Every structure is written in C-alpha cells, then in structure tokens.
Chain A
C-alpha cells in the first residue's frame, strides 16, 4: 500500500486506530482531560477533524503525537467512544513507519541516563519514540 496517497493515509489511520473519527461531536472532553494539552500544537479534539479533512501530513509533522503520554484519560472519558488517544497514536505510528522511527536514536541515550532511571522508562520510551 502506498504511503503517499492521502486517502490511503486516512484509511491507514482508521485501520491502525480502529477508531471512527466521524463519531466525534467535538465536545472537547479529551482536550480538557489531556495532561499534555499545553504541549500540543494540534489538540486532541482536533485530531478527528484533521483526519476527516484528509490533513494527515499536518498530523504526521505535528509534535502532538510525541507529546501524548499514553495515559488513556481521553480514551476513558470520550462520550462517543472515538478514543482520540488511538487517533493520536495511529498518527505517531504512521510517522514512525514512514520515517523509520527517528524520534529517539540509540546514540542519544547514554547522556539521557540517570543512575536510578528505571528500565520501565527506557522500554516505554523506545516503544513510543521508535518503531
């Protein structure tokens, strides 16, 4: 499947996320719940609209996908079961699959380490920042 075609990208995001952006009623509860709201350029409640409009490139180049904490607050609280976190994560995965997962390089890690840093932090960061 081509990754350059916009329609394909929209379909891929729907497929990876298993979520239906058309169910969103823009209530904003996801953005109100999001601990990373202030860090994001595209806010959680906007993801569905971007996907519906086919503006996937903006999503893939936004920093929001790297700011999602996987805390599942928006997924828990979405009254329409759109589960915005899944859309955000699908955009992250699509970006990683296209760019080869370059948000964290192995070479960067030594200087990010602290003596008491738990393994959980490293494996979680790898899972979120790299394919």
Chain B
C-alpha cells in the first residue's frame, strides 16, 4: 500500500529521527511513504481567520497532489497533521474558502477536500491494526513505563481532526501496549507545552514542561513519547527535576520492530 507523504519542514532538518524511523517502520509494516514532490511548509499554525486564504494554499497544493495520485495523505508531525486536516475540512465545507483557494490555483479540476488525511498513528490503528502491529514486534518494550504526550495539535478540535477522543484519548496508549510497553495515564498528557512562545518567552515553556514531567513521572512514567518536534524541543529544554527522556513515537516503533539500526 502506498501513501502520499507530507513530511513538513522540521522532519527534513531538526526532526529527522521522526521521519527516518517512520519510513523504516512503515516498510516493516507493509506500507510505503511516497514523499510529495515540491511540498511546501504548512506554516505550523492553522490560520484561524475566516478571511485567511494565501496562508492555506501550501496545504491545498499538497492535498490536491495526493488527490491526483489517488492516494490518502499521511503526515507525522502534529502541526502538519493539524493544519492539513483543518485546511482540508475548510476546502470540503467552507464554500468561500474553497472558491477563493481554487481561484488562486491552476488545478485540472477544483479541489474540494477529496483527499483523506491520516496521521501515521491512524494508519497503524485503522489500516494495519494494533493486533497486527503487536504480531510484528520482535523487541517488545517490556518493563518500559511510557507516558504518551499528546499535546494539543494532534487532538483538537476533536470534531475536525477526528483523531481520538480529545479529552480521553487512547490511541497512543494502545500503540504503547501493542509494542509491549506499559502506558502511563496522566492528566497533563493533552495539555499544551507552551508551543511557539519558547522563542520569546522560554521561561513560560519551562514552567509548562516542568508540570508535564512532574505529572507524568508522578504516575510512574520513565519516559515520554511525542509526535511533535516542538513539544520535543520544549521538553528537551526543560530543567525540571522530574525530567525523563523523550522519544519520538517512531523511534520506539522502529526499536520494537527491530528496524532501528537500519533506519
């Protein structure tokens, strides 16, 4: 099975681990990521303004490319996943945005949200299945107590992203179980790390990440996993006493599938 793959800006640079472990793991699980040629950065933050069109066009072009290939579109970064799904929802359901975005474009036919956008984890849950994943694990993460850190962008708004229950998600916990690890549930798992304010207000993100580490380790986590390069950065910058290692979920996946070394 082949998917159009939208890596996004950070996976080509500071978050190469998120990308390469995903590619190796996908092959081990029987699907292939075909990178969209000439994809452009989604902008990292979904433009909320109802009259913002130009800032949505990079996403529209990638979505239309996948449509032309007849493929579903996979993405890994929480921010790309968020932006692409929301722009796709606009193209499907908001006539004004659809009309104006298509007016900017030279597509063979107007794009109207036909592409299905999937996060890599959704492919594992909905296409591969966690049982099938578990059957392919060669290095189970036995005795690992892993806290899933969802952050904000993978989950909300729940109605549009349709990723999981935004207040009580379980996709990453099910993923951890399938890899043989023990998921740790904690209350801060779907709260924001402070995001982009790290640039101008790093003390604030340090407060946020300290709370995340204190909460997760208080429930027994010995490491955290994330799908977001910005969460990863903010968590790594933390000077919290309770700090534990943070991994991209794809790294633990590749480890469990026995493909980490070749990635």
Tell me which of A67, A72, A118 contacts B13 (CB under 8 A): A118
* Shortest Cβ gap from A33 to chain B (Å): 9
Tell me which of B14, B156, B200 contacts A76 (CB under 8 A): B156
Q: When each residue 103-121 of chain B gets 1 if its CB lies under 8 Å from chain A and 0 otherwise, what string results?
A: 0000000000000000000
Question: Which residues of chain A are within 8 angstroms of B196 by Cβ–Cβ distance?
Answer: 69-70, 121, 124-125, 128
B44 and A69 form a contact (CB under 8 A): no
Distance of A16 Cα from B158 Cα, bound (Å): 22
B192 and A69 form a contact (CB under 8 A): yes
**Interface 9-mer from A3-11, A42-50, A53-61, A84-92:** A84-92
Q: A39-B204, A116-B14, A124-B195 are in contact. Are A71 and B152 (CB under 8 A)?
A: yes
For the side of the interface on A, what is the size category? 35 or more
Tell me which of B13, B50, B198 contacts A17 (CB under 8 A): B50
For the side of the interface on B, what is the size category? 35 or more
A118 and B192 form a contact (CB under 8 A): no
Q: A69-B195, A123-B43 are in contact. Are A89 and B49 (CB under 8 A)?
A: yes
Q: Which B145-186 residues have a C-beta within 8 angstroms of A?
A: 151-153, 155-158, 166-167
A118 and B14 form a contact (CB under 8 A): yes
> Is there a chain A Cβ closer than 8 Å to B55's Cβ?
yes
* Shortest Cβ gap from A55 to chain B (Å): 21
Number of A-B contacts (CB under 8 A): 125
A71 and B44 form a contact (CB under 8 A): no
A-B contact pairs, 12 of them (CB 8 A): A16-B50, A39-B204, A76-B166, A93-B49, A116-B14, A118-B13, A118-B15, A120-B15, A120-B44, A120-B228, A121-B230, A123-B41
- Interface of A with B (CB < 8 Å)? 15-18, 35-36, 39, 67, 69-73, 75-76, 85-86, 89-90, 93, 104, 112, 114, 116-125, 127-129
- Interface of B with A (CB < 8 Å)? 8-10, 13-15, 41, 43-52, 55, 77, 79, 151-153, 155-158, 166-167, 191-192, 194-200, 204, 208, 228-230, 232-233, 236-237
